[in-house]
């Protein structure tokens, strides 16, 4: 009997995935409902986002721990009540969506969600269970503790990508460990979501992609905005690309015949 994991429905398509990183906006509206809808208008079925949670437990679709960089307000989200965070406007224009608003606004989309803080664990579990998102979500986090806490709280399995330390272990050990031990190490992982390089070392090669596939792991690369690099990575056999230039990746997907 094979030990290779069966991919969750999130990863089921046979063609490579195009994932809009924080949606698509040329006007600074990252992680806004407008940006996510713009990506779907280009043909995207997958979007990547992040969640941080307010002091009173409302999960917000937002990358940074603070409001400062992308909104007209300041402050640490985890230290502010929702009544204050809701006043912030991305690029001075658009309110930050709650996780609930985000899910409801995109009923056909599949979500790659990065859990940015411990306060977001319970709200994400609740949203997945309430809306039955198990087949539509990949749970990610730089922290395996947070990622595993979400997985442990769910009634059904979901796709998941590893945190930073587990990825470091994997790439350090994968040339040496036998497959059975590597599968055990990555027992709760379905996809490696990684950059092309780590600390100056190239980690995405034809050999590393083949190795991951032999273990039943998909490989998604972030964040790629150059069409030539997109094509090179697809030629290596990667299973998905995340991009801030959803327009350019959509063009590559159609050129290669992945999209009609």
- In whole angstroms, give the CA distance from residue 255 to residue 167: 32
- In whole angstroms, give the CA distance from residue 236 to residue 187: 25
Residue 247: enclosing H or E segment and its boundaries? Answer: helix 246-255
User: DSSP string covering 44-64, please?
Assistant: --EEEEEEEE-TTS-EEE-SS
Pair 115, 139: CB distance under 8 Å: yes
Is 63 one of the catalytic residues?
A: yes
- In whole angstroms, give the CA distance from residue 212 to residue 191: 9
Is residue 235 packed enough to be buried (19+ CB in 10 Å), middle (13-18) or exposed (0-12)? exposed
**Which residues is 94 bridged to in the sheet?**
90
Is 21 one of the catalytic residues?
A: yes
Helix, strand or coil for residue 185? helix
198 to each of 125, 162, 163, 167, 172, how far by Cα in Å? 31, 15, 14, 10, 12
Nearest in space to 250 (alpha carbons), one of 11, 10, 17: 17
- In whole angstroms, give the CA distance from residue 53 to residue 116: 9
Both structure tokens of 37:
């809808």
Given the residues 63, 131, 134, 213, select the one marked as catalytic: 63
Could you give the residue numbers annotated as active site?
Answer: 21, 63
């Amino acid at each position: 009997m094979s030990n290779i994991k069966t991919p969750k429905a999130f990863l089921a398509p046979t063609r490579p995935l195009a994932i809009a990183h924080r949606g698509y906006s040329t006007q600074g509206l990252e992680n806004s409902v407008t940006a996510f809808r713009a990506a779907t208008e280009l043909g995207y079925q997958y979007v990547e986002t992040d969640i941080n949670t307010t002091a009173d437990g409302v999960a917000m679709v937002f990358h940074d721990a603070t409001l400062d960089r992308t909104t007209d307000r300041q402050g640490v989200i985890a230290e502010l009540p929702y009544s204050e965070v809701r006043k912030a406007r991305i690029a001075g224009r658009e309110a930050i969506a709650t996780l609930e608003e985000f899910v409801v606004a995109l009923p056909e989309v599949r979500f790659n969600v990065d859990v940015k803080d411990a306060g977001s664990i319970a709200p994400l579990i609740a949203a997945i269970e309430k809306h039955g998102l198990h087949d539509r979500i990949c749970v990610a986090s730089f922290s395996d503790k947070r990622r595993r806490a979400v997985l442990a709280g769910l009634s059904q399995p979901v796709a998941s990508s590893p945190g930073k330390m587990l990825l470091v272990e994997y790439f350090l050990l994968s040339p040496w460990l036998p497959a059975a031990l590597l599968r055990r190490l990555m027992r709760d992982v379905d996809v490696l979501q990684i950059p092309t390089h780590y600390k100056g070392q190239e980690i995405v090669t034809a050999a590393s992609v083949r190795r991951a596939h032999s273990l039943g792991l998909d490989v998604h690369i972030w964040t790629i905005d150059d069409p030539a690099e997109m094509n090179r990575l697809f030629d290596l056999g990667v299973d998905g690309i995340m991009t801030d230039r959803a327009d350019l990746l959509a063009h590559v997907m159609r050129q290669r015949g992945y999209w009609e």
